[in-house]
Structure 1
Amino acid sequence: MEDDDALRFAMDTLVRSFGRETLLFSSAEEFLASGHIADTACVLSDIMMDGMSGIAMHEKMLELGYTTPMLFVTSFPARHLTAQAMTNGALAVLSKPVDPDVISHWLALVLDSPRQPPVAG
């Protein structure tokens, strides 16, 4: 999830360049209402967005019983937000601009299996 259109499409292009399928959402609320939570292999989300934050979205997913792997990106790497995300089980909190090799590494850890569902972002 990314509420900035240009960044969302840039991240989509990057993830697709790794041969991964993607689903794009402009907000946490849009993703939660999409019906795609159960068939998403990994979520790549900004922490700070208009409306619901990425962390609040992750907490809602956990409440609903979804333990989908989460990768967060942020332009504002505050310790308390990183700590909260990691306490909730996030795989990583990455600072923007994100190194493409770092994204590739994390996605490979999560997705390299016989079945590769889409990455929501």
Structure 2
Amino acid sequence: MNSMTKSLSITIIDDDQSVRESLLDLLEVFGYSVRIFASAYEFLESSAIPETNCLLLDISMPGMGGVDLNLELKRREIEIPVVFMTGHAQDAVINEAKKAGTCLFKPFASKELRSAIELAVNP
């Protein structure tokens, strides 16, 4: 584990509690500092934005999905590397996500997740 991994703060935003908890456990094993949120709105109202080095965003969530959250952050001139996650193959939404970052399809391997995060923060 390199020193950069330890300094990264990853924020997970997913409406599925089991996904949030399993990713939290996995990313902490990798040595990342991790925060979790159940919705995009919860994240936007938090103090975690300036401390986030990479976002793991579920594409499909009630209310504001991952792509919309990413657009809102850009509108606010907040640049955070993003890794999108989805369990649903919606071509139009996935294409939008891929324009803004990496898109992983659930379920994905831990190695694939780690590579996507490293690529997002070190393009």
Counterpart contact for 1:73–1:98, Cα < 8 Å: no
1:101 to 91, 111, 115: 111
Instruction: Confirm or deny that 1:59 pairs with 2:71.
Output: yes
Structure 2 unaligned blocks of 5 or more: 1-12
The correspondence of residues 42-57 of structure 1 with structure 2, limited to 5 A, is 42-57=54-69
Query: Equivalents in 1 of 2:96, 2:116: separation in Å?
Result: 19
TM-score, normalised with respect to structure 1: 0.84
Runs of 4+ residues deviating >6 angstroms = none
TM-score, normalised with respect to structure 2: 0.83
Aligned length: 110
Superposition deviation, residue 101 in structure 1: 0.4
1:28 to 34, 40, 50: 40
The answer for the alignment partner of 1:14 in structure 2 is 26
Bigger proportion of residues as strand? 2
Query: Equivalents in 1 of 2:51, 2:68: separation in Å?
Result: 20
**Percent identity (aligned):** 28
RMSD: 1.4
Structure 1 unaligned blocks of 5 or more: 113-121
